[in-house]
Amino acid sequence: MYLRDCGLQGCDCIMKLIEAIVRSARNIVPPDVLEELIMQLEINETFDASPAGAILMGVYILEYVGFPKYVDAILEEKHTTIEQLKARYRNKTAIENPMVPSTGILLSLIVADMIACPRNITPAYKFEEMAEQWRTGPLLGIEPSILNDDRIGRAMSVIGANIRNLQEVLFNMIMDTGKKAGIPLNKFILDTTLLELDGKFKDAPKVVPGRGTNSFSQMIVSLVIASGSRLPVGFGVLPGNTSDSSTLPDIYGMVNRVADDGAVEFLMDRIYPTPSNIRFLEEQKRERMVFWVSPLKTGLSEKRARELIDMAYDKDEWEPIGYRSTKEINAKTDPPLTAFETTWTLTEKIKPELEPGQSRRPRGSIRTINIDVRCVFYRHELNAQREKENRKIKIEELENALHEFHRKLNTRKYREREYCEKKLAELLKSYSCVKKFANCELSVSDKGVIIFKWLWDTAAIDQESKYDGVFALLTNYSKKQVNHNRLVTKYRGRDQVEINFKEMRGILDLERVLYQRPERIDTFVFLKVIAFFVLAFLRSYAMKEGVKTTVVKIRESMGDMLLIENSVMPLEMKIYGIARDTEMNRMFRELFSLPDPLELIKVLSEEEKARIDGYVQKWYEKWLKSRHEPR
């Protein structure tokens, strides 16, 4: 007999399995046939694996944070828990129709799939097929046959019919989770991202064509993150041509609902500080004080920024400050920052909407608003050195490229001035960061010879080094409230939201939108936010337990857990196990009192044990048939 342990957690004890098979076979086959059967018993060396383990864990965690419950409450549906669904599944009769889970449970399956398989998210038309692999019937009480694409699509449409529904679910989860985890909600990070989508979205008004003939379609997603815990507390899905800055009032409304009592702090993207937004935040003082910090978008006001920097050098206003990043502290690097303070004037033109029938705005209707705000310029010496070195390298590369261009002149097509000017323009365009330092002159002699000269503006190159490594922060904190050191410390904290968007794009494949109907696009992005909510929630709890980790590692830990399906040959009887379970997964199951997957798969094993007689009978019939077949 060749029968060995498959080495998977959760497989039935081999000896008990043998005993069960032998007991059944004694009642069905003659003794000599029984001996032959026993000699043939072995574990199949090939097996199937699915992320059902991660799906199971994800669904139960979503139930713990209240996601399906709040979805059903918003939609006024009767909520059924996973345990209730499983009890109904076990006790159903053959003639009963399978129980249809609530919208909250259906959406939980989609979110769990996003967490478990972010690179290969299951489209709606494949959910029934995948549910068979996940064994959702016995493990979750959800018959795979009811998970067709129509039902999945309707579930997404019904919750996404009003984006307020989605935001209300997230709000309730924040309130519930905040109480459970004691998460502070007084500092928030704001950002938006432009998603470029590959596909046709003719029925999705929020998705607009990008610029250029071959550009992707695009839409905007805004996200509000609670600083520290990194929990998403608000989101929006906006048309791709929306001005990012116009989203601030809605964002404030979301934050105002979830924030703790007292003042709050906004760490904002550089697009948000406009005069109208600053005035809006000032008007909220009657309700709560909002302090804000934002980087200055110097690219649009480069001339003014450089004037202020030059004045600071002339007046010797740059002062060293003590701030160092964690990396710089560990490397024992001297504080690399110097700073000076000034005032920055924000300017915005207010253009009224065109009245019906108007083709242009009346003269004098466009107003200009100016607001002065506190501004601190910083210079990072190490970054300045790197930028200077990189510029030197680019200048050398351009110098070589210009020499190569010069050698081609007056040969083949390079005998025509128009062609030479075109190629020179293309060359300089590829060196946009340093081309302004090269004074190029292309001319034609009396004899028709193309002449090319260039001269480097060394004074401008030297002057440019003044602006290397410089960035500026705007804020409504006074100098007494927040000095230069604390201000830059706060700003570095907003890097979290950049990391979050990057992680959402990567581990949750944010830019791959599988739907085109507007309400389903909203729901799809919302479910991605919920998936990230779960990962951030788990990270926050892990940190409390003293486990330093990231949402990437947590997702990988969950996604690695597999349901293994093997078979006992020659009966073709299924056996199950859990593979690649991790210490982190076990920690979360203990923290949240989640079911042990080893206990869950016993359900599958018991189902197979109940069919042993059938497996043996089927094998015996094949054995008899083989004996009567002509040789």
pLDDT at 280 over 70: yes
| pLDDT 10s digits, 231-244 | 888 888 888 777 76
Q: What is the mean pLDDT of the chain?
A: 84
Say how far apart CA 465 and CA 391 lie, in whole Å.
9
Q: Check residue 192 and give its pLDDT.
A: 79
**Which of these ranges, 341-345, 440-444, 608-612, has the smallest mean pLDDT?**
608-612
Q: Check residue 244 and give its pLDDT.
A: 62
Spatial neighbors of 489 by CB under 8 A, at least 6 apart, are 323
Selection from 123-127, 347-351, 472-476 with the highest mean pLDDT: 472-476
Tell me, letter by letter, the H, E, C secondary structure of 18-38: HHHHHHHHHCCCCHHHHHHHH
If one counts every other C-beta atom within 10 angstroms of the C-beta of residue 328, the result is 16
Percent of the chain whose pLDDT exceeds 90: 31
Q: Check residue 6 and give its pLDDT.
A: 42
Say how far apart CA 389 and CA 316 lie, in whole Å.
25
**Which of these ranges, 154-168, 403-417, 448-462, 600-614, has the smallest mean pLDDT?**
600-614
Torsion-angle region of residue 143: left (phi > 0), alpha (psi -120 to 50) or beta?
Answer: beta
Q: Check residue 505 and give its pLDDT.
A: 58
Burial group, residue 293, by CB count within 10 angstroms (0-12, 13-18, 19+): buried
Provide the CB-side half-sphere exposure for 568 (13 A, CA). Answer: 31
| Extended strands (E) in 410-486 | 438-444, 450-456, 470-475
Contact criterion met (CB below 8 Å) for 575 and 568: yes
Give the pair of three-digit tokens for residue 223. 């996200």
If one counts every other C-beta atom within 10 angstroms of the C-beta of residue 112, the result is 26
> Does a cis peptide bond (omega within 30 degrees of 0) precede residue 295?
no
Name the H helices within 284-416: 302-314, 326-330, 381-408
pLDDT at 9 over 50: no
Strand partners, 342: 375
Contact criterion met (CB below 8 Å) for 602 and 86: no
Selection from 38-52, 416-430, 539-553 with the highest mean pLDDT: 416-430
Contact criterion met (CB below 8 Å) for 397 and 439: no
Contact criterion met (CB below 8 Å) for 243 and 191: no
Q: How many residues does the chain have?
A: 631
Give the pair of three-digit tokens for residue 305. 């920024």
Mean pLDDT of the region 6-18: 55
Q: How far is CA 277 from CA 346, 349, 532, in A?
A: 11, 13, 28
Say how far apart CA 32 and CA 58 lie, in whole Å.
49
Place of tokens 């004694």: 26
Burial string for 178-216 (b: 16+ CB within 10 Å, else e) reads beeeebebebbbbbbbebebeeebeebebbeeeeeeeee
Provide the CB-side half-sphere exposure for 459 (13 A, CA). Answer: 1
Q: Check residue 422 and give its pLDDT.
A: 93
Say how far apart CA 508 and CA 221 lie, in whole Å.
14
Q: What sign has the CA pseudo-torsion 169, 172, 176, 179?
A: positive
Q: What are phi and psi of 337, to 5 degrees?
A: -100, 140
| pLDDT 10s digits, 487-539 | 998 887 655 545 555 665 555 566 567 777 889 889 988 998 999 899 888 98
Q: Check residue 454 and give its pLDDT.
A: 93
